[in-house]
Amino acid sequence: MRIQSWGFLFTVALWGAMGATPAPAAEKFPISLNAVAMTDVPPLGHADRYLPQEAVVHVVLRLGERRVYVYRGDEVQASYPVAIGTAATPTPTGTFEVFQMIEDPVWQNPWTGQVTAPGPNSALGVRWIGFNNLPNGIIGFHGTPTVNSIGKAASNGCVRMFNHDVVALFDQIEMGTTVTVVH
C-alpha cells in the first residue's frame, strides 16, 4: 500500500495472515492521507479547554456535627473534630475566604492585653487560619491546649482544633480557600 502525504511517498506492506506475502488489497488500494481535507476538522482552540482541571479545595464547617471537612471538588479529603462558639458567642455562619495563615501565632488576651508566647500551650496553639473579620475581632481555626473543649460549644466564636489537626488543615489549604460554615 502506498500512502502519500506532505510531498513524500511512503510504502507500507500489509502482510497476510501468515506474514509471508503482501496482502493483495495493499497493492490494489493506495490510501492518501489527503483524502480527509483538514478544513473538515474544526479547530480545537486552547488546549486547557480539554485538559482535566484540578479540583478546587474548600472547607465546610458543620456546626451541628462539631466537625470541619476538607473537600477537593466533591470528594472529602479529611475531617477533624472541633470546638465552636457558645450560644452567647456563636461561630458565624456563611461563606468566607481564608485571609490569614500564621504558623506559631502570638496571642494577646483581648480583655487583659497580656501577650502569650507562641507554642502548643498558647491559646491559639501552633497554627492560626483567619477566615472572618468582624468588628469585634477575627474568627478563625486554631490549635488549643484546652483539648477537653473539642466537640463542644465552648469558644468565643473561633474554631478550636487539636494542634495536630490544625497543622494538617493548614497544610491542605491556602490563602483564598473558601470556608463555608453551616448549622
Cβ-Cβ contacts under 8 Å for 107 (sequence gap 6 or more): 115, 116, 118, 122, 123, 124
* Of 146, 160, 130, the residue nearest 66 (C-alpha): 160
Is 164 tagged catalytic? no
Q: Which of the 8 DSSP states describes residue 154? A: E
Catalytic residue among 58, 158, 164, 183: 158
- Quote the Cα angle for 79-85-87, to 5°: 130
Cell of 51: 485538559
Cell of 74: 466533591
Catalytic residue among 58, 142, 164, 183: 142
Catalogue the E-assigned strands of 23-148: 31-32, 57-62, 67-72, 75-81, 84-85, 94-97, 100-103, 107-108, 115-116, 127-134, 137-143
Is 46 tagged catalytic? no
Check: CB of residue 169 under 8 Å from CB of residue 160. no
Would you please indicate which residues are annotated as catalytic (active-site) residues?
142, 158
